[in-house]
Amino acid sequence: MTLTATSWSSPGRYTVHFNAEPGKRYAFVIAPRDEQAAVMFIGGVVGLAADTIANGETSGAFKIIATPQ
């Protein structure tokens, strides 16, 4: 399975891949990705572009966190 979080107002995307097992429950939280906020503060739009290129599937304004069930 694949989950992806994107935002219309920020470049990049955060993607997690996991193997879902039958009969098991899964829960995820979408939270702000503080690393991108810091990059934006320091590097502006150029910093955002660099973050997106450098981090690929783990860039973007939000992150996905698996929560225990």
Q: What is the pLDDT of residues 14-65, one digit of tens each?
A: 999 999 999 999 999 999 887 777 776 777 777 777 777 788 788 878 899 9
pLDDT at 30: 93
- The end-to-end CA distance of the chain, in Å, is 17
The answer, as to whether pTM is greater than 0.75, is no
User: Which residues neighbour 23 within 8 Å (Cβ) at sequence distance 6 or greater?
Assistant: none
**In the predicted structure, residue 1 carries a pLDDT above the cut 80:** yes
The ranges assigned to domains in the chain are: 2-67
As given in the structure block, the two tokens for residue 17 are: 């891949």
